[in-house]
Structures are given as C-alpha cells and as structure tokens.
Amino acid sequence: MTLLRVLISLWFLASAKTLNSGYFELCSTRLPSPSISGHVQKEKARRNSSIGHSCERGIGTIVWYPDGSSFCCPADAAWCGGCAAPTTDGTACGECIGGWTLEDGQCTACMDYLGWHDEHGRNCFAASQGADGCSSDRFHGASARTACCGCGGGLRAATPFRYYTEPLLIGQSAVTGHPLPRTASHYSVDADCKLLEFNLTINGRTGQLQLQHGCDSVGCGRAMVDFQVTCIVTAHQGDLEASAQLHILASNFLVYESLALVVTDGTKRFPARFHFGAHLGGLALACIPTPEEQEAPWQLEADGSLSVDASRRSKTGLTNLTLPWLSSAPGGLCQVRNASNQTFNMLVVLPETWAKIEYPHDTLYVTPGASFGPPLNPSSGGDGHVAPTRFSAHCEAKTVAIDVVFDELTGVASAAGFTLFHLNVQTGALKLTPEERVAKLLDGFQSKSHRGRLELSCKILGLFEWQVGVPVPPIVASVDVLVQDSTCWQDTQIPQAHVVQTLSGISEGDCRGACRSDVRCGAYNWQSQKCHFLAPCGPNPVEDCQLFSAYVKITNCSAEHTCMNLTGSKPVWLYSGLFCPIAFERAVGSSAGWVFRKSVATPQDVFYLAPETSDAAKCDGGLLLIRSNRTWDFENTSSKYIELFGEHVACLTADVPHGVVQATFDKGRQDLKIKNEQTFIGKGLQLTLRPQACQAPVLSPEMSEALMVDDPSTATDMDYTLHACDCFPESWTGDPVTPKSAGQLPPGSDNEYVPLAIEIAKGSLVCEQESLLALYMLDGARQEECHHACQLNTSCRFFWMGSAAAVSQCRLYTACRTLLTEAGASGTLAARSTDKVCRRADPEKCWASFRRAFLFAGTSKSGPSDCAHQVDVGGPEGVLKPWLCGFSALSRGIYRLPGTSGEALLEQCDVNLMMGGEGVEDCRTAPRKREPLFRKCSMCRTAHAASMLLLARGEGEKHTLLTGQGFKSKGL
C-alpha cells in the first residue's frame, strides 16, 4: 500500500494545475499602450488550423469546439494561454477563450469591475465598443481604462499552466518536459530544486527541461539507480505569476510514456523503452488486485509493450485515490519484472466515464431578475460513473445578432456585458439567473406579436483532463435557454382612453422601453414614428377620450406570477374562469411547466390546467384540464410541488412551437383547440393574460395587552413589563428575554458595550462598487484580519470578507447604500462599530411582530417602547442607570450603521430572504445603537371603562394623574 500511495502522489504532482489550484490574485492594471483588441474586437481566426489537431504526448494544448473539432496550439508557442484560435498565418492568437482578453496577439485572464458603468450608463462592454468609450474620466472612482478589460484595465490574473514530463531512462541523451500551455518568457524554480544533481536544468526563457551543458546523458554517469525529483516552476507573466509542480522519475530498467496509463475505451498499446544495459529476458507482469487470467484487461508482449483493453474492465480496481477528479476506478497497480529482478511500477486505470450529459430539462424559460429555480445538476443518464473534471459552455443567439460570451474561469455567460446564467465549471450545475438589466436588451428584440425574447442554443461540454498533454474527447449536451421579458404586452381595444404623453421620432422598440420605465404609462399606441402613452379615462372623462388600438402593459409577467383567464364564445361556467399558478410540474423534458388552479368556494368545482406528465396523458404540448380529486391530490405549498390524480376532462392545445402557455404569454392571448373531450366544456375557447392589480393590504390592529401595570412610586415607566423590542438590564431574568439574548451579553457590561463588528449578511451580497475603498488579496485570510484592516483605515465603514472568482478577498467600503448580488461570490458583509449598543429582549419576535411593518405602506416601522428606560439596579445611593432602546438589535433587525441607512440594508436583506433568498445565506444579528432620550406617554386602562389613568412624564418632571371623573394635577 505504501508503493500504491507513492505512485498516486507522483501522478497527482505531475497533473496538478498550480500551487494555488489555478487562479492567482486579481490585480488591477492599466496598460500604457493603446494597442488593445478587447473582448469583442478580435481578428476572426480559422477554426480548422493547419498547425494540427492531434495533441498526443504533450505536443501542444488542445482546445475543443462544440462540434467536436479541436485546435492544437503548439507547445513552443508563447501565445497559447487562453487562446481559442490562431491568426491566419498561425503566428499569434486571433481569438481568446471567454474570460481572457486579446492584447497584441496574446490572451490575458481578466475580469471587468463588477457593476461598473460610466456617466452615460454604459457598462464595460458598451464603453469598449464606442470610439469615445475607453475614457480616462473617472465615474464613481474608476474610469473605463481602469475598470474595463476591453480598455486595458480590469482585474488581471495569471494564466494557469501544468507541466508535462515523461519518465526518463538513466543514461539517455534526450529529455521531454515543458509547460503547457507556455504562458511566459521568464521562468524560475524553487531553491530546493535538485535537478543539477542529475545533469538536468530548466531553460529560463522557455521553461523547457534540458540536459545540463557539459554532459550529454541523464545522470551524467553519476546516477546509477532510480531517482525522482520534484521542483516548483514559476512563470512570470509581467507583474503576475503562476506556478506548477514538475516531477521527474528516472529508471535504469524500462519506462512507459507515463506513470499512470489511462484508457477510457477501446484498446491501447503502450510501447516500452529500455535502458541500454537492461536484460530483456524473463519479462513478467503482475498486478494487484489480480484478475482471472482469461479476464485480465492488460497483456504484456514479448518486446515489453503493454496492451490494455478497456472493454474488459472489471469491478475490481483501485480505491481511495487521493485525486480530486477520480476517487476510485477499475484497474490495478502493476509491476514489470525481468530475470534480474529489475522492476518498474505504474498505475493502469480504466475509468468508466460518462457517455453523455443529461439535464432535467431540455428547454429553460426565465425572466430577467428572476431565477429558474434550484441549480440544475447534470447526470450521465445511468451510463458511466466518472464525471468530467471540468465543464464549459458555448451559446449562440438563434434569432438576433448578439454575441454570447462564456467566461471559462468564473462560469458566467453574458450578452453585451449582462449576466445570463452561471455554470459551475467543476460540477456542471446550471443556475439560470439573468440579471434585471437584461431587460434593456429585449426591447429591441420585440415584434408586434411577441414580447421581448432572447433565444439561446447552448452546448455544455464535459472535459476529461486527468493528465496534462493527453487529450480525451469531451461529451456534449444541448440545452435551449429562453430569456423572456418580465413585461408582457397585450394588444386590445381601449374604448375610453386619453393621451398622457407623446414622444416623437422613435421606433416601436424605444416606445415600449419608454413605456416600461414610466409608471404613468399603462398602455401605448405607436403610429407614424409617434409614441403615445395612454391612460383610461375612468369615471370622470376628459375631452380627448376616444377609442384606441393599443398594447396594454402587464408587469411582473411570468408563468410563476401571472394568472390566465379561460374564456370562450360559448363558455361553460363550470370550466371557465381565472386560473392562477400554484406549483411547478417537474416532469423530465420540454413538457415541464407550471400548474394553474381555478379556486372556487366549492371544492368539487376546483379545476387545474397542467402540462402532460406521462405518455398516457399526451396533449401535444398543450394543457390538460383536470378535475380536482380531494382524496388523492397532494400539494406542498412551501416547495411548490403538486401531484394530481383527478379526471382528465379535456386537452387544450394549439398549433404553436413552444406550447400553449408560452404562446399565451407571448401574444397576451391564444385561441385553443379541444381534444379528448370527456364532456362539453364550451366553444371558441381562449386563454388571455390577466393584468395584475394592486389591492390594499388587509391590516389588522396590533394586538396589545388589555392591562399594563405600572408602579407610580418609581421613575421607570411600565417597570413591571418589558417588551420584546426593549433592551433589558443585565439583572432581568425570565420572559420576554430569551436565553440567547441573555447569553450574548458581555459579563459586567450592563447591556452597554461596543461590538467588535456588526455582521449584516452572509452569501453573495456586497456593497456598491462606487463605495469600494480598497481590495486586498489575503491568502487564507480570516475575518478578524479583514476587520483589522478596516480599523486601520479611518475612512472604512464596512468590510466584506470571502471569495470571488476562486480568490480570497477582503474589500473595504466607505459606505453601503445598496446591497448587490455578485455572481460567484460568497462571504460575510459586516460594519465597523464605534458606538455603544445594547441588545433587545427577543429580537426574532420583535422583528416578526413590528419591524417588518416597512412592507406595508403607511404603517410605522417602530415597535412599542422605543423609549428611554431607567431601572434601579441597586447601585450606591440609588443611582439610576439608563437603558436605551431607540435602535434595533435583532436577528434580521434594523441597523443604523455609520455612513448609511442601516435600516434600508436590513430591509433589503430581509426582502431577499422572503423572495427566495437568492444570493443570501443569512441576515445576521446586530446590536442596537443608542439614541437620545425622548418623551413618552404610557396609558393604563382600568377595569372600568369610564376610568382612565394617564401617566405623562418627561425627564426631570413629576407625574400627572388624569382621571375620567375630572382633571386633577397631583405631584407623585
């Protein structure tokens, strides 16, 4: 077992990407030279390069294309890092892989500043396209030349590489070893490298392994036994550096092309190379575990070559492999021995890889600012056990001319600089969450019969990269993604409407975009390059009220939010009506979709519109009208899951490409055909969208105690009660103070203390880019180190500690007005505190009962007892200590933090959680800041309705007693 672990470790060292798992620190860079091609401005290169397609035995770096073709960039070319295709003459890179930017014929890993835009609202993509876009004028602290990769700025990273070597024979006159891809013109080695002891060295310009000058053989006559050397090779890419491990093994018997012989399918022959003095007689092969002789997948030939047949793999093999991509696989630890008992050991691995990639759905629908749901995890469909080591994607727009770029480093796919989806490059999990600003692109994609839509045809590639320089063909899956506008437009006739605004000389797409962003526009009419915003006349018509043919705006339009009306020329009341979405039918394939329910008072008259779920319930892409079955129907409202067992009354379909529901949302209405009708359900049926209406919330008065008890002999109001929102003295025990609140008080603090930091949220939430003060890359940093950096900077008010783009970061902010979700980021956002705070009695109850009132217009955000409490703690001479409760200290509470509206931050975080928690792991507990004392009146009702006791007190004043029998002042 010791030998097995040694071989496994050697294989891992030879295949490792870099010392830090790939992506090194991101550095902000400004190039002095304007000779930049940018992300999109690139020379169109030939996909079928004459340089060659075979990259066997480390002759180059292979790039796979979605159609199965490939490009092999030669190992000695210094421009191969991040290159997707060469120029016509093959002397430089002509097109970069997504995530790299092309500059002077070479590619550099780069990422634009997140969320940056200039004073005209242009993001980095738009700024880099215009003649005046790459400006040096700063906007919110950064210019295009600082923030944008296409303008020479952005966050730069070193391109990772791996080092390819082949086992050596002692005494041989040639060696093979070089970085793949070659990424630099300057290479270094670590101080512990022992290559010189065996007549080996590294070329400082190319990074290649060479024989030392003065001796023409490995070992130079001094090394007569097997040896191995491990070194760290560093490539200097300007100001950036990347490293990889080089491992050399030399034998005085025989060697194969690698220490690990990997065969995934078919039969492969591995020739042996012998030492000139080795004895070839009596060659024998032994492997552990030992298979039956007639079933062994390997065969040693007379010349020492090893033939391996992957089709004869068995279930026995190697386990506990310390490799991140291959924990176990069929095969064995094998040894070749001769009559002189010379041996050579190697691994023979026969992984049963995935034969294909399958996702739960072939077609995905989503709207900007929304999420399709939980990430979609790929599977092999039951074929194969070893997943790809890396995933990639390539997407093309079907109906419009727009480039879709997939970043190979972060897994983010974008169009015109706007995020469309995120693919986990390690697991293949697909998360469809297009950002809200994608809606700006869709106005130009609309026609009179469709809402804005961006249709993408995507190929997901699964790559197998166990060994550097040994290419394995990838597997491919096809997924269609439809990003649809969240605003629908329904063409209709408005009998009485008037024009509220007219815009002249604009296209219909610009007219829709203007109507979308204007709250006064509920419908529009476009004729002769004129755009009219319309509003209904209502009960008090004006003079210009008339009939208009218009498009009505339906906001927040999506299958998960919008209801549909089933009507007809001759409808049947039992089946027609309003159907609203309640659950998602997670059937495999394109038939998956939302289930709509018609809710009525009588349960037996409840009906559903649902997609087909099995071959026995085919509906040609339409909707099944299903009667409820109160006995067997099952629904989980929290997970939006439903199972229906009722009678299939009819199938409602239409001659449309993407299904009835999709067609209804595209056009605002859809005529239906009736099939498999079990009873008469009507004629001339039609589905129409129902515009959403905002109804006044039903607000119930806050529950309060009927009797509040006060001791008039003390200066503390209501000192026999303590509200959940109040801060509490340390001496208080029992309700409403929770054990958690009591246990978190620093001993002896009397509930007045300065916290080290106030955590706001955990997850992908960060502050706005314009408030960024500094960014540090701290390898293995802890939160206290980032907090310490914030304390040392007097301008720092907030700090974020986590990882983004696989790099540990510490960000310092001067303010935090808005919480933004950053794709691929995960960390903790906290605030620096310098003021004394106190903690509430029951933060969770306080927040749930009172502080969430910000969600309802016209209600107070303050809970009761936002007041100055004083309590006698038994100090000397009856000293009274203040207990302040004017600021919240609660889980998911309201923060009033330095330099921003903390209340708004916590409200934003809490709303994110209630809307599904996209990018949010938790909204943290925070202390509560002190506020000045203010007056408060407390009211105590007695058992007699005619009597009322009102105690009014101000600081330093006496109490006044008011009764229902008459007003009388009395000093207490």
**pLDDT for position 558:** 80
Count the neighbouring beta carbons within 10 Å of the beta carbon of residue 954: 12
Structural contact between residues 310 and 371, judged by C-beta atoms closer than 8 angstroms: no
Q: Cis before residue 736, ω within 30 degrees of 0?
A: yes
CA pair distance 837, 537, nearest whole angstrom: 54
CA pair distance 558, 689, nearest whole angstrom: 10
Q: What is the pLDDT of residues 629-671, one digit of tens each?
A: 988 888 888 778 888 889 999 999 998 877 888 888 888 889 9
CA pair distance 938, 717, nearest whole angstrom: 7
Nearest CA to 479 out of 363, 601, 330, 386 is that of 363
CA pair distance 624, 628, nearest whole angstrom: 12
Write the DSSP symbol of residue 4. H
Q: How many helices (H) and strands (E) does the chain have?
A: 10, 67
**pLDDT for position 637:** 80
Ranking 449-463, 600-614, 831-845, 944-958 by mean pLDDT, the lowest is: 944-958
Q: Cis before residue 434, ω within 30 degrees of 0?
A: no
Write the DSSP symbol of residue 486. S
The stretch 854-867 carries a mean pLDDT of 42
**pLDDT for position 874:** 31
Quick one: tokens of 613? Answer: 């779920």
Max Cα separation, the chain? 123
Structural contact between residues 942 and 948, judged by C-beta atoms closer than 8 angstroms: yes
**Angle subtended at Cα 761 by Cα 759 and Cα 766, rounded to the nearest 5 degrees:** 110
Phi, psi of 479 (to 5 degrees): -140, 130
Q: What is the pLDDT of residues 157-177, one digit of tens each?
A: 999 999 999 999 998 889 999
**pLDDT for position 178:** 95
**pLDDT for position 194:** 92
Nearest CA to 46 out of 89, 75, 100 is that of 89
**pLDDT for position 820:** 86
**Cα Rg of the chain, angstroms:** 35
Q: What is the pLDDT of residues 571-620, one digit of tens each?
A: 888 999 999 999 877 554 445 678 999 988 888 889 999 988 766 677 87
> Number of C-alpha atoms within 13 angstroms, CB side, residue 444?
7
Structural contact between residues 99 and 109, judged by C-beta atoms closer than 8 angstroms: yes
The stretch 668-691 carries a mean pLDDT of 89
**pLDDT for position 602:** 84
SS3 track for 674-740: EECCCCCCEECCEEEECCCCCCCCCCCCCCCCCCCCCCCCCCCCCCCCCCCCCECCCCCCCCCCCHH
The stretch 284-300 carries a mean pLDDT of 87
Model confidence at 952: pLDDT above 60: no
| Residue 692 pLDDT class (50, 70, 90 cuts) | low
Domains located in the chain, CATH noted: 25-157 (no CATH), 170-251 (2.60.40), 256-349 (2.60.40), 363-484 (2.60.40), 488-554 (3.50.4), 564-689 (no CATH), 739-929 (3.50.4.10), 936-967 (no CATH)
| Residue 438 pLDDT class (50, 70, 90 cuts) | confident
Q: Which residue has the higher pLDDT, 972 or 369?
A: 369
Ranking 292-296, 403-407, 509-513 by mean pLDDT, the lowest is: 292-296
| Residue 457 pLDDT class (50, 70, 90 cuts) | very high
CA pair distance 566, 684, nearest whole angstrom: 10
Average model confidence (pLDDT) across the chain: 78
CA pair distance 419, 454, nearest whole angstrom: 13
Count the neighbouring beta carbons within 10 Å of the beta carbon of residue 941: 14
The stretch 190-197 carries a mean pLDDT of 93
Structural contact between residues 652 and 579, judged by C-beta atoms closer than 8 angstroms: no
Q: What's the gap between Cα 298 and its chain centre?
A: 45
Model confidence at 15: pLDDT above 50: no
**pLDDT for position 951:** 35
The stretch 141-148 carries a mean pLDDT of 91
pTM above 0.85, yes or no: no
SS3 track for 270-306: ECCEECCCCCCCCCEEEEECCCCHHHCCEEECCCCCE
Count the neighbouring beta carbons within 10 Å of the beta carbon of residue 972: 12
**pLDDT for position 958:** 36
Distances (CA, A) of 44 to 93, 95, 543: 10, 7, 60
Nearest CA to 896 out of 797, 767, 796, 756 is that of 797
**Residue type at 705 in one-letter notation:** E
* Interacting residues of 434 by C-beta distance below 8 A, sequence separation 6+: 366, 367, 368, 369, 370, 418, 419, 420, 421, 483
Q: Over pLDDT 70: what percentage of the chain?
A: 76
**Angle subtended at Cα 106 by Cα 105 and Cα 107, rounded to the nearest 5 degrees:** 135
Q: What is the pLDDT of residues 115-124, one digit of tens each?
A: 888 888 888 9
Q: What is the pLDDT of residues 30-89, one digit of tens each?
A: 444 333 333 333 333 434 443 344 688 889 999 998 888 888 999 999 999 999 999 998
The stretch 845-849 carries a mean pLDDT of 73
Quick one: tokens of 236? Answer: 């200097």
CA pair distance 611, 593, nearest whole angstrom: 6
* Interacting residues of 630 by C-beta distance below 8 A, sequence separation 6+: 603, 604
**pLDDT for position 396:** 92
**pLDDT for position 880:** 27
Ranking 11-20, 502-511, 827-836 by mean pLDDT, the lowest is: 11-20
Q: Which residue has the higher pLDDT, 851 or 343?
A: 343
Count the neighbouring beta carbons within 10 Å of the beta carbon of residue 693: 5
Nearest CA to 705 out of 691, 724, 728 is that of 724
CA pair distance 884, 727, nearest whole angstrom: 7
Q: What is the dihedral of CA 379, 380, 385, 386, to 10 degrees?
A: -80
The stretch 336-341 carries a mean pLDDT of 93
Q: Given strand 27-28, what is the order of strands in its sheet?
A: 27-28, 155-157, 106-111, 100-103
SS3 197: helix
Q: Over pLDDT 90: what percentage of the chain?
A: 31
**pLDDT for position 37:** 38
Paired strand residues for 795: none
Q: What is the pLDDT of residues 348-406, one digit of tens each?
A: 999 989 989 999 888 888 888 888 778 899 998 776 788 999 999 999 998 788 889 99
SS3 68: coil
**pLDDT for position 373:** 74
Phi-psi region of 806 (alpha: psi -120 to 50; beta: other; left: phi over 0): left
Helix (H) or strand (E) holding 340: none
Distances (CA, A) of 409 to 26, 325, 432: 12, 18, 18
CA pair distance 817, 936, nearest whole angstrom: 31
Model confidence at 885: pLDDT above 70: no
Quick one: tokens of 827? Answer: 């960390």
